[in-house]
Amino acid sequence: MSIDITSIRAQFPVLNQQVNGFPLVYLDNAATTHNPQAVIDASTDYYSRLNSNIHRGTHFLSREATAAHEAARETIAKQFNAAHSHEIIFTSGTTDSINLVSTILTFSGKIKAGDRVLVSGLEHHSNIVPWQMLCEHTGAELDVIPITDSGEWDLSEIDTLLTEKTKIVAVSHISNALGTVNPIEKIISKAKALGALTLIDGAQSAAHMKIDVQAMGADFYVFSGHKCYAPTGIGVLWGREEILNELPPYKGGGEMIERCSFEKTTYNVLPFKYEAGTPNIEGAIALARAFDWINEIGIEAIAEHEQKLLDLATDAISHIDNVQLYGTAKEKATVLSFNIKGIHHYDLGTLIDQMGVAVRTGHHCCQPLMARFGTTGTVRASFAVYNTEDDVHALIKAIKKAAMMLA
């Protein structure tokens, strides 16, 4: 499979600029991807033509906005092969989605003192802290799958960590800090056999591989739009219908009620039960357009293109003196995390930016993982469909020059 990279890049206005006198090379896609013109146009069209609150209005604009918002839900459901569109809950992003699940489990009474919650050592803080908060409120305890030196799960003692006391397993599909593609099917299968729920953090996988939530077998899958060529402030929680129906609401307010009185309130059906208040209407519409755009190119073609760039960059950087790579798993995607020995990651990233190359530095919201590797942070380059081999060459050139200047 091949893609027309010139045509693709032309669709991203933000790339047509210079930084410090250099053409912008944007390699911070694991944090946020840019929006193609088609997605920008979808956002503009909403505010220019439809802007109105949804669901309850009888006037024309409200009806049209409602139809566009619910069509977006249908698009997302189809994209991830959800059994029902009402299993798609719009949130503000991955963090909000995980907090939604952890909160409703906290107050459901399903998790009690002595129960266990299992995460992995690869997790982003947003898939650690909400579960710590759940444990504080319920008396449950947190268990952690350890990490090997290559940045993969060490499953040698998984049968000790994952037991009948485990009530939920919450793990990332792809590590945001290392790019490791985790064997989620193994952990989901083991968890299901023991009656535990499973949540998959798909923040780094939703835009890079085909996801089928029914085939995956998990109970919850979450992701953010701004890592999928869509705006910030929009995300998705997919959850199994029977589980979402059984669990309590997350927030109280408008739209999530069936009937409200001072004596008693009853709750709305899915998905509205979990969507209190005015939603990010434009964000949902733009997110659906982003996935349409991805599919116009082909997600398999995108993945193949990104893998070639990752392989090229990994090989090139391995020839730089004193480079230290973090995350050398057999299965990796989109992320290259590294340091130069003797140079602080922040200093290196700052000089790389001076040469027009945007990378991320720091702990990437993964302080426990950084501690596992004995560092406070790394420099992270991450790839998207609009990146090129020239971007890789510019990165390597900038690293070499920055390292020489800081030596």
What is the residue-wise DSSP string for 307-366?
A: HHHHHHHHHHHTTSTTEEEE---SSB-SEEEEEETTS-HHHHHHHHHHTTEE-EEE-TT-
Backbone φ, ψ for residue 78 (5° rounding): -65, -40
Banded pLDDT at 2 (limits 50, 70, 90): confident
| pLDDT(60) > 90 | yes
Strand 141-145: give its sheet, edge to edge.
88-91, 235-239, 220-224, 197-201, 166-172, 116-120, 141-145
- End-to-end C-alpha distance for the chain, whole angstroms: 42
Are 357 and 398 in contact by the 8 Å Cβ rule? The answer is yes
| pLDDT(376) > 80 | yes
Kindly report the average pLDDT of the chain as a whole number: 97
Backbone φ, ψ for residue 242 (5° rounding): -65, -30
- Cα 255 to the center of its chain, rounded Å: 27
> Would residue 228 show up in a list of annotated catalytic residues for this protein?
no
Are 62 and 53 in contact by the 8 Å Cβ rule? The answer is yes
Separation in Å, CA 207 to CA 96, 229, 279, 303: 19, 8, 23, 9
Q: Which two tokens stand for residue 197?
A: 């729920």
The pLDDT, as a whole number, for residue 298 is 97
Q: Which two tokens stand for residue 292?
A: 């349409």
Closest CA to 50 of 58, 36, 60, 40: 60
- What mean pLDDT do residues 61-90 have? 98
Instruction: Read off the pTM.
Output: 0.97
Q: Where are the domains of the chain?
A: 5-29+298-406, 40-295
Q: Which of 135, 228, 260, 365 is catalytic?
A: 365
Please list, in sequence order, all residues whose beta carbon lies within 8 angstroms of the beta carbon of residue 324, skipping any fewer than 6 positions away.
338, 339, 340, 341
Banded pLDDT at 229 (limits 50, 70, 90): very high
| pLDDT(1) > 90 | no
The pLDDT, as a whole number, for residue 56 is 83
β pairing state of 323-326 and 335-340: antiparallel
| pLDDT(397) > 80 | yes
Separation in Å, CA 76 to CA 85, 265, 324, 385, 396: 8, 30, 39, 20, 37
- Helix 345-354 to helix 389-406 angle (10° resolution) is 120
Amino acid type, 53: N
pLDDT 10s digits, 302-342? 999 999 999 999 999 999 999 999 999 999 999 999 999 99
Are 301 and 3 in contact by the 8 Å Cβ rule? The answer is yes
The pLDDT, as a whole number, for residue 4 is 96
Fold equal for 5-29+298-406 and 40-295: no
List residues bridging with 198 in a β-sheet: 169
The total number of residues shown for the chain amounts to 407
The pLDDT, as a whole number, for residue 57 is 87
Distance CA 320, CA 341 (A): 11
β pairing state of 25-26 and 357-358: parallel
pLDDT 10s digits, 213-223? 999 999 999 99
- Helix 281-297 to helix 37-45 angle (10° resolution) is 150
What is the residue-wise DSSP string for 74-109?
A: HHHHHHTT-S-GGGEEEESSHHHHHHHHHHHHHTTT
Separation in Å, CA 120 to CA 151, 154, 175: 11, 9, 10
> Which CATH class for the 40-295 domain?
alpha beta
CATH of 5-29+298-406, one of 3.40.30.10, 3.90.1150.10, 3.90.950.20, 3.30.70.20: 3.90.1150.10
